[in-house]
């Protein structure tokens, strides 16, 4: 049975994260929104506090389902609960914190013990998107060629979150373009390696506190052991599916946390909108039926319902991961629902608060700008719906494009 009740331990994690978000992140939201590409030094203290909490066990959920037959609400559940709170504080600042890169999740998901020990505490960014490759990750053109005890990488990656500040990169590349998905592998590249260069920083609509970079690889040589997973290429259709699936496994682990980011931003917008509307004499009363309240109040109720639906889907996907149940469909469902919800809720809150919502005197307009990226990165809305359709209909990627 799925158990979505928040345990006392996870509630404590949420409460502590909210304190950090309110007092150590939110006060700097506007500052780093205006000072794009400036490293948020204040967040170093937040990272230290979070690391101390993890070492004390506050963000873990006990034994995994592999160790016990009991129902588990563990590390994945703790992650989505904590991330919701931190994104409530400021999504851009969270994404700019060291050791929170998507590459870290990839290393933990498919890295060897030696790789996890060496790079587990690094600040690892993920390099996937290319000038000619967006949602179709199988169309990657960056190449990796074996040369003795090294891999040689050549290509260009764009829209790399934390690409400038990260000290480690997880780079997707192909061993043989003609084999399509079967030849896609990911490689660990340490920043500073000759041939690896940050060539451009993007100016963005939202999450300005997080750097987004373009990176080129020109005869970039890395140790042979820096490949994530096996270097072998599968020879049959089933093997090809498994080969690419190992790389894609990262997304099943990270899409629920990304959905949690949308929950945090959406909750921030709802909280601020309710506060501003209350100041103007519109005080939501959730004990009254929608038919007996004003149009503005009724709209807030509808937005709250959308938020709650996204929250439950996210918790379900995290619970399944904790209990070692395949959650690819559920991970995409929660990411699609939460991404769309975050966009709608934040923008609608701006509209409901009118001039206050649109003004930089309040953070509502920033929440709306920040929310858009959540529906795009980690797989767009359309890609998530395609994945869900394939799972429900039992179709392969070649059968349903």
- Quickly state the pLDDT bin for 391 (edges 50, 70, 90): very high
Task: Determine phi and psi for 294, rounding to 5 degrees.
Answer: -70, 165
Mean pLDDT within 86-92: 96
Position 42 scores a pLDDT of: 92
133 pLDDT band, cuts 50/70/90, is confident
Q: Is residue 377 part of a domain?
A: yes
Q: Are residues 248 and 389 in the same domain?
A: yes
Q: Are residues 267 and 373 in the same domain?
A: yes
Is residue 244 one of the residues assigned to a domain? yes
Is 378 among the residues known to form the active site? Answer: yes
Based on the fold, state whether residues 374 and 279 are members of the same structural domain.
yes
| pLDDT surpasses 50 at 236 | no
pLDDT band at residue 337 under the 50/70/90 scheme: very high
pTM of the model as a whole: 0.89
Does the pLDDT of residue 188 top 90, yes or no? yes
Residue 249 pLDDT: 63
Going by pLDDT thresholds of 50, 70 and 90, the confidence category of residue 246 is low
Say yes or no: 258 and 376 in one domain: yes
Do 228 and 288 fall into the same domain?
no
Say yes or no: 57 and 18 in one domain: yes
Q: Which residue has the higher pLDDT, 390 or 396?
A: 390
| 66 pLDDT higher than 60 | no
Question: Looking at the structure, do residues 19 and 87 belong to the same domain, yes or no?
Answer: yes
- Tell me which DSSP letter residue 130 carries: B
- Kindly report the length of the chain: 401
pLDDT tens per residue, range 25-61: 999 999 999 999 899 999 999 988 887 765 333 333 3
- Quote the distance between the C-alpha of residue 308 and its chain's center: 19
CA nearest 331: which of 401, 395, 388, 265?
388
C-alpha gyration radius of the chain: 21
Q: What is the tally of structural domains in the chain? A: 3
Q: What pLDDT sits at residue 60?
A: 31
Q: How confident is the model at residue 283, as a pLDDT?
A: 82
Is beta strand 143-147 parallel, antiparallel or unpaired with respect to 150-161? antiparallel
CA-closest candidate to residue 312, choices 304, 323, 324, 300: 304
pLDDT at position 51 is: 79
Residue 258 in tokens: 């990304």
Instruction: Check whether 241 has a pLDDT greater than 70.
Output: no
Question: Mean pLDDT, to the nearest integer, of 170-195?
Answer: 92
Q: Domain check: are 281 and 384 in the same one?
A: yes
User: Of the residues 36, 306, 378, 399, which is catalytic?
Assistant: 378
For residues 250-276, give the mean pLDDT. 93
Show Cβ contacts of residue 337 under 8 Å, excluding neighbours closer than 6 positions: 259, 309, 310, 313
Q: What's the confidence (pLDDT) of residue 353?
A: 95
Mean pLDDT of the chain: 88
The yes-or-no verdict on residue 173 having pLDDT over 80 is yes
Q: Are 23 and 40 members of one domain?
A: yes
The CATH code of the domain that includes 277 is 1.20.140.10
User: 114-147 burial by CB neighbour count: b if 16+ within 10 A, else e?
Assistant: ebeebbeebbbbbbbbbeebeeebbebebbbeee
- The residue out of 93, 115, 137 marking a domain boundary is 115
Asked which of 80, 115, 150 is the last residue of a domain, the reply is: 115
Residue 218: give the domain boundaries. Answer: 123-235
Q: Which residue among 65, 86, 115 closes a domain?
A: 115
Q: Note the pLDDT tens digit of each residue in 268-313.
A: 999 999 999 999 888 877 788 878 889 999 999 999 999 999 999 9
pLDDT value of residue 247? 56
CATH value at residue 41: 1.10.540
Assess whether 163 and 85 both reside in one domain. no
Q: How far apart are CA 227 and CA 220, in angstroms?
A: 14
153 pLDDT above the threshold of 80 = yes
How far apart are the C-alpha atoms of 129 and 371, rounded to whole Å? 20
Q: Residue 112: pLDDT above 80?
A: yes
pLDDT at 237 over 60: no
pLDDT at position 57: 33
């Amino acid at each position: 049975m799925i158990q979505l009740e928040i345990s006392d331990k996870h509630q404590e994690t949420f409460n502590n994260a909210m304190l950090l978000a309110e007092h150590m992140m939110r006060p700097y939201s506007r500052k780093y929104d205006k000072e794009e590409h400036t490293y948020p030094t204040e967040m170093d203290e937040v990272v230290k506090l979070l690391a101390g909490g993890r070492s004390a066990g506050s963000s873990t959920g006990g034994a995994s389902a592999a160790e016990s037959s009991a129902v588990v609400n563990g590390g994945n559940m703790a992650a989505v609960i904590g991330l919701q709170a931190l994104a409530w504080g400021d999504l851009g600042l969270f994404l700019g914190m060291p050791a929170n890169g998507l590459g870290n999740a990839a290393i933990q998901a498919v890295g060897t013990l030696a790789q996890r020990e060496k790079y587990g505490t690094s600040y690892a960014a993920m390099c996937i998107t290319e000038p000619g490759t967006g949602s179709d990750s199988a169309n990657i053109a960056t190449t990796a060629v074996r040369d003795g005890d090294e891999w040689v990488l050549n290509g260009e990656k764009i829209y790399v979150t934390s690409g400038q500040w990260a000290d480690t990169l997880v780079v997707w590349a192909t061993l043989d373009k003609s084999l399509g998905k079967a030849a896609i592998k990911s490689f660990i590249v340490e920043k500073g390696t000759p041939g690896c260069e940050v060539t451009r920083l993007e100016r963005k609509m939202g999450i300005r506190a997080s750097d987004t970079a373009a990176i080129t690889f020109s005869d970039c040589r890395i140790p042979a052991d820096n490949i994530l997973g096996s270097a072998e290429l599968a020879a049959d259709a089933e093997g090809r599916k498994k080969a690419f699936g190992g790389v894609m496994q990262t997304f099943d682990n990270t899409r629920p946390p990304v959905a949690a980011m949308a929950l945090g931003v959406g909750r921030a917008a709802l909280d601020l909108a309710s506060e501003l509307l209350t100041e103007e004499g519109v005080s939501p009363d959730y004990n009254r039926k929608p038919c007996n309240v004003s149009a503005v109040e009724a709209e807030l109720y509808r937005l709250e319902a959308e938020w709650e639906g996204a929250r439950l889907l996210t918790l379900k996907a995290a619970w399944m991961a904790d209990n070692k149940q395949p959650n690819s469909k559920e991970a995409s469902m929660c990411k699609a629902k939460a991404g769309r919800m975050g966009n709608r809720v934040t923008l609608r809150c701006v509209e409901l608060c009118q001039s206050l919502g649109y003004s930089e005197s309040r953070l509502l307009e920033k929440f709306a700008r920040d929310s858009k990226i959540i529906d795009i990165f980690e797989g767009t809305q359309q890609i998530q719906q395609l994945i869900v359709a394939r799972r429900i209909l039992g179709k392969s990627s070649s059968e349903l494009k």
